[in-house]
Chains A and B, each alone.
Chain A
Amino acid sequence: MLHEPAAQSGPDASADYKANIGVWMFLLYAAIYAAFVAINLLRPLWMEKTIMFGLNLAVVYGFGLIAFALVLALIYNHMCGLHEADSKAAEGKN
């Protein structure tokens, strides 16, 4: 039995670009997540301080991590999509 992918897709000229920005965005998110964990461990009382709308830092940071994940994902998708389109256009010209 052959072991090719379930659905075939052609070579991806944007693969390196996407991997590169993916790593940087991952590191950015990981740093913000690590800061959240660090505050909990090193300065847990900061988490009960009211920050905005009557909400404490724990809630604002927690919700913020969820919202930021989506924003970052959309930016990543936009950048990948633009590069893929440029690559396809360049392939078309060649």
Chain B
Amino acid sequence: MAIAIFLTFVGLVLGLSFYFAAKTKSASGYFAAGGQIHWAVNGIAFAGDYLSAASFLGICGMIATAGYDGFLYSIGYLAGWMVALFVVAEPMKRLGKYTFTDALDAKFNSRGIKLAAAISTLVVSVFYLIPQMVGAGVLVEPLLGIPHYAGVIMVGAIVITIVATAGMTSTTYVQFIKGGMLVVFSTIVCIAVLYRGLSTTPDQGGRVPFHEYKTINASEVKGKLVTEDKSFTVAGGQEVKGAKFVKLSAGGIETWWARYDKDGKITLRETQYSVAKADGAKLVNGLPESKENQPRLYGNLEAIKGKTGPEASTGKVGPFEFLSILGDPETRINRWKTVKFADNGDKVTVYAPNVTPGNKLMRPGLKFKVEGTPVQRLDFLSLMLALFLGTAALPHILIRYYTVPSPACARKSTIVAIAAIGFFYVLTMYMGLGALVNSVVNPLTDNMSAPLLARSFGTFLFAIISAIAFATVLGTVSGLIIAASGAVAHDLMDRYMQIDFTEKQKVRAGKIAAFVVGIIAIILGIIFQGMNVSFLVGLAFAVAASANLPSIIMLLFWKKTTAKGIAASIVTGMVSAIGIIMFSPSIYEKFGLDPATAPIPLDNPGIFSIPLSFLVLVVVSLLTQKKEQAAA
């Protein structure tokens, strides 16, 4: 049934594209839906554009693994809309035609701005495309049983078809339908979570028996570890950053256990683990890896307000009560941590229980070290700055201001978007925490937490949610590819290179550009498999905020801004943000290098690259005042 619903949805999306393809003949129709979309439809389509894989898959996944820290993305993403509404919406609509470059260049007619802004649009779009494609692969993998790369290629092919047929009109209606359905069905999932309530032995409504992880006592005899349960013998051990792990052997199967020393007593707790053998074989929990033998989903409450066992179950709870219980210091939540080490040539990954009190889960600190070193705190500040300033600088969001008839409609559609997006972000808290307490978090990737939570309520909801999530990716990727193709066909080829295009030729150039960008997105989506999509989007926000926002703001509010100042600011923001990202610990880790050796200790570049971009704009503008006045 899941596959049938999924395929029906994809079929509808493609049908809609072909329907609008027949109507799209002009460049205005292709790049800006003719500027005639109703503001309410555009507002929900905004929500559809914005609530991408990062919001639905990434934020829910991060809340499921890091609690409140994941919700910080929701807060930052939503706050960014205030910049869009109060500062950017109406002026962008008044100044532009099809692209963000049009608006920046409206006062100057500068080739430098056209080139810099078009490249920036391309770069930001590609940065934003990566997490969407990663999300697509993650989603399709369990649904259709195909590998990650095949899922990415499938999404890429469908999106290229959509964009190459109809452009912005079909993208708008796909986003409208998807945005509306996403909010409605996410609400249903949240109501189901509250209705089910909380338990220390979550069994997904009786569908999947709760797995009790074993605990055994041990002691040290003459310096050697010995278990009380004599069916186990100790076969080895490892210590990684203060965490101890013990390898036990029983019946010819070796298993890894987490060791805890407290008050002179030694306790061993069962873990999950995978082993990559030197000969290429892979084991999961001691047995050969297969479709059936994968790490179990995890996450549960060890205690609810200090109570354990059947009497701790709450039955249905209210929305405030749910959060209140989870934030109680006496509530203990079993998150899991991943630890990697080498053991006799084998690469071992252990997923170990990590019990966290509720008061720590429900405040910042588990992922973002707000009580950590100055660098860690600076990284947090940098992220929150980029999220706040990034939204209003995203090309695929900015182009949606050209699909409505007037500046007032641009404003109203932004407010509809804020209402829909804000409501959805409140829901992410319940979906993420719901996944954590219902034992549906995949230790291999947290991105699937929301769809897996839906599956715990039955196949139908899983199929619908997965189809919507897939449409989410399709719609956002379509919007990004249109923004990128507009940058190539309209900004670079038509306006910068001044190729004498007819309307038809320009649309064709846009479609060819869409095809090329789509292929690039597919390749990057395969390379970046496994990274949290919200983290990746956070990086795209930082690049957008650094490259685009300073020039938008200064163009609107500083009369001394010059064309050269804008071009220099865009290039500086883009290069500095990408440079910091490339030498950051996360990227080092992704490419197998030791993150501690990364030359720049920050993951989020915004705190440096955004002010630098502003500064360069001011300095270059002041230095080029006379030249540009003389030229004028």
The answer to whether A56 and B82 touch (CB under 8 A), given A40-B370, A48-B327, is: no
Check if B411 is an interface residue, CB within 8 A of chain A. Answer: yes
Which B residues from 326 to 368 make CB contacts under 8 A with A?
A: 327, 359-360, 362-365
Tally of contact residues, A, Cβ under 8 A: 49
B90, A41: Cβ atoms closer than 8 Å = no
Instruction: Tell me the minimal C-beta distance from B489 to chain A in angstroms.
Output: 11
Looking at chain A's contact residues, the main secondary structure is helix
Looking at chain B's contact residues, the main secondary structure is helix
- Complex contacts, B377 vs chain A, CB 8 Å: 41
- Complex contacts, B406 vs chain A, CB 8 Å: 7, 9
A44, B365: Cβ atoms closer than 8 Å = yes
- Complex contacts, B403 vs chain A, CB 8 Å: 6
B74, B87, B415, B429: the one contacting A26 at CB < 8 Å is B87
- Complex contacts, B159 vs chain A, CB 8 Å: none
Check if B2 is an interface residue, CB within 8 A of chain A. Answer: no
A6, B320: Cβ atoms closer than 8 Å = no
Q: Which residue of B is nearest A59, CB measured? A: B323
A70, B86: Cβ atoms closer than 8 Å = no
Cα–Cα distance between A39 and B441 once the two chains are bound (Å): 30
A-B contact count (CB 8 A): 166
Check if B293 is an interface residue, CB within 8 A of chain A. Answer: no
Instruction: Tell me the minimal C-beta distance from B326 to chain A in angstroms.
Output: 10
Cα–Cα distance between A40 and B359 once the two chains are bound (Å): 14
B418, A69: Cβ atoms closer than 8 Å = yes
Cα–Cα distance between A62 and B91 once the two chains are bound (Å): 29
- Complex contacts, A25 vs chain B, CB 8 Å: 82, 86
B79, B363, B425, B503: the one contacting A33 at CB < 8 Å is B79
Instruction: Tell me the minimal C-beta distance from A25 to chain B in angstroms.
Output: 5
Question: In the complex, which range does the number of interface residues on chain B fall in?
Answer: 35 or more
Check if B535 is an interface residue, CB within 8 A of chain A. Answer: no
- Complex contacts, B425 vs chain A, CB 8 Å: 66
A4, A45, A58, A65: the one contacting B78 at CB < 8 Å is A65
Known: A15-B94, A40-B370, A70-B419. 12 other contacts (CB 8 A): A1-B27, A5-B35, A5-B94, A5-B97, A6-B97, A15-B407, A25-B86, A29-B82, A29-B86, A36-B75, A53-B324, A76-B85
A-B contact pairs, 28 of them (CB 8 A): A1-B494, A1-B506, A3-B97, A5-B402, A6-B35, A12-B407, A22-B86, A26-B86, A29-B86, A44-B364, A47-B363, A47-B364, A48-B363, A50-B327, A54-B321, A54-B323, A54-B327, A56-B359, A62-B72, A62-B74, A63-B426, A66-B426, A67-B422, A70-B415, A73-B82, A76-B415, A80-B411, A81-B408
